[in-house]
Amino acid sequence: MTTDEPGYTAPDILLLGAEHVRAYQETGGETGYLWNGVPTLLLTTTGRRSGQPRTTPLIFARDGDDYLLIASTGGAPKHPLWYLNLQAQPQAEIQVRDRKIAVTARTAEGDERTRLWKVAATTWPNYDVYQTRTDRVIPVVVLTPN
C-alpha cells in the first residue's frame, strides 16, 4: 500500500483500535465519534468462535434509518473479522455517540450495493482506492435498527 495513490488521503491514526473504543465508550462519543472528520460508531459483534463480544470502531454512513459499513480493511485481501462475525451472527449492537442500538446486519448485493457504495464513498472517498487494492468485492453492510 502506498500513500501516493490518486484519490487517497492518509488518515491521522493517533486514535485506533482498543484506544478508540475505550475513549468513545468513556466519553459517550465526545472523543472518537469524529475521526479524521468523519463519523464513527462502535460495532459490537459476537465472536464466531469465542462467543464473546467484540467491539470495533468503524466509519459509517446513513441511508434512511439504516447505518452503512464498508468491510474494507483498507483493501486487504481478506474480509475483516467483524464482517465474518456478522455473517455468522447478524444480530449486533452499535453505539452512536452515547446511544446504543440493537441492529440486524445484511450484505447489500447488486444495484443496491452499487448505490450504497456511492453513499459510503461520499463520506470516506478512500473506499474507492481500497477497492483498487484488492481482488475481492468489498462488502457493503447494511445495519437495520431492530
Which pLDDT belongs to residue 5?
A: 76
7 assigned to some structural domain: no
Would you say residue 65 has pLDDT above 80? yes
Q: Give me the chain's average pLDDT, please.
A: 93
79 assigned to some structural domain: yes
Would you say residue 62 has pLDDT above 50? yes
Q: How many domains does the chain have?
A: 1
Where in the sequence is the domain holding 116, given as residue range(s)? 17-145
11 assigned to some structural domain: no
pLDDT in tens, 5-56: 777 766 666 666 888 999 999 999 999 999 889 999 999 999 999 999 999 9
Rounded to whole angstroms, the Cα distance separating 3 from 9 reads 7
Domain holding 87: CATH number? 2.30.110.10
81 assigned to some structural domain: yes
pLDDT in tens, 71-126: 999 999 999 999 999 999 999 999 999 999 999 999 999 999 999 999 999 999 99
* Count of other CB atoms within 10 angstroms of residue 86: 27
Would you say residue 2 has pLDDT above 60? no
Contact predicate 113/37, CB 8 Å: no
3 assigned to some structural domain: no
